[in-house]
Amino acid sequence: MTDTTKFPPEKNLPAGYVPPKIWKWADQSGGAFSSINRPIAGPTHDKELPVGKHPLQLYSLGTPNGVKVTIMLEELLAAGHAGAEYDAWLIKIGDGDQFGSGFVEVNPNSKIPAMMDHAPTGGGAPVRLFESGSILVYLAEKFGAFLPTELRARAEAMNWLFWQMGSAPFLGGGFGHFYAYAPMKIEYAIDRYAMEVKRQMDVLDRHLADHEYMAGADYTIADMAIWPWYGRLAANAAYDDAGDFLSVKEYENVQRWMKTVGDRPAVQRGSMVNRTFGDPAKQLHERHDASDFETKTQDKISGQ
Ligand SMILES: N[C@@H](CCC(=O)N[C@@H](CS)C(=O)NCC(=O)O)C(=O)O
């Protein structure tokens, strides 16, 4: 029970609010994405997922978590791993596609990215994959790429991969939500998460001062996981002008790394897949073939 002496209701937001004894689901109102938020799991409707011609079937959207996987797939293809050819299907989370029965069978957590491997190593039944970090490790192990095998280097790549998985929710769900998406600006919440995100940027900056990439001399899945979140922020391409708000140019080593990784052709291609916002020439809603980058971007499709 809330101690109203310690927390006088008139100081709460909205003024007078006192948390009830038992929370109930009502219209929490407002904020971007409020219409898709629910306190329960499971499907809301029957819908099978499409399956294309390649062994790897990706069901995703071009958000930072989705882009981690499309960068990895494009990197694998660029490195000559032909078995990494994939179909990328669009899951429109704003329309609730993540609650379709087929999607929930692949990811019971109803979040993109999710993937099926129809040709797993050693054969047998298809393998379902969810959680972007798990997908990156699975692909790295399947193709023996972008994850060092030497004990110390591998441990370091895993350290930073898991650092990202644990830290980004403070950037997205915390800072991004309260800075850009919440229906009101709450100073306390913005200050709390701005502080944490700046601390995280400083963690990266200090590490990158004497490491070329996150796990050392080699570019790994740790970079692929961190770049779509912290690289975008460093480039002032996240949450409107959040980069300016957080003075991201101060983090010079992150700036250097952000540009090096961002210049990779596979990173540029991966960033286009399942992307539904921004420059139409950089949006490839679905990807089924390498040639789609030349012929099926939104500027070309809309012009047809
Ligand atoms: N930890 C998960 C997070 C995935 C996630 O939060 N996905 C968001 C988009 S970036 C989503 O699908 N949201 C839909 C929803 O919450 O209903 C991962 O890394 O895969």
Each residue's pLDDT tens digit, 186-242 = 999 999 999 999 999 999 999 999 999 999 999 999 999 999 999 999 999 999 999
Ligand 1 atom with the smallest distance to the CA of 37 is 17
* Phi, psi dihedrals of residue 130, rounded to the nearest 5°: -145, 170
Q: Do 151-270 and 56-143 fall under one CATH topology?
A: no
Q: Is 191 helix (H, G, I), strand (E, B) or coil?
A: helix
* 107 in contact with ligand 1, CB cutoff 6 A: no
Q: What are the extents of the domains in the chain?
A: 56-143, 151-270
**Coil, strand, or helix at residue 108?**
coil
Question: How far apart, in Å, are the Cα atoms of 157 and each of 11, 137, 160, 213, 220?
Answer: 45, 10, 5, 10, 7
User: Under CATH, what is the fold of the domain 56-143?
Assistant: Glutaredoxin (3.40.30)
pTM of the predicted protein model: 0.96
Ligand 1: centre distance to CA 66 (Å): 8
CATH, domain 151-270, list 2.40.33.20, 1.20.1050.10, 3.20.20.450, 1.20.58.220: 1.20.1050.10
pLDDT, tens digit (0-9, with 9 covering 90-100), for 134-159:
999 999 999 999 999 999 999 999 99
pLDDT tens digits, one per residue of 291-303:
999 999 999 987 5
Q: What is the CA radius of gyration of the chain?
A: 21
Say how many C-beta atoms besides its own lie within 10 A of residue 203's C-beta: 14
Q: Is the CB of 271 under 6 A from ligand 1?
A: no
| Ligand 1 centroid, distance to 42 Cα (angstroms) | 15
| E strand residue ranges, the chain | 56-60, 86-90, 114-117, 127-130
How many angstroms separate the CA atoms of 286 and 21, rounded? 47
Q: How far is the CA of 58 from the centre of ligand 1 (A)?
A: 14
Ligand 1 centroid to Cα of residue 112, in Å, is 5
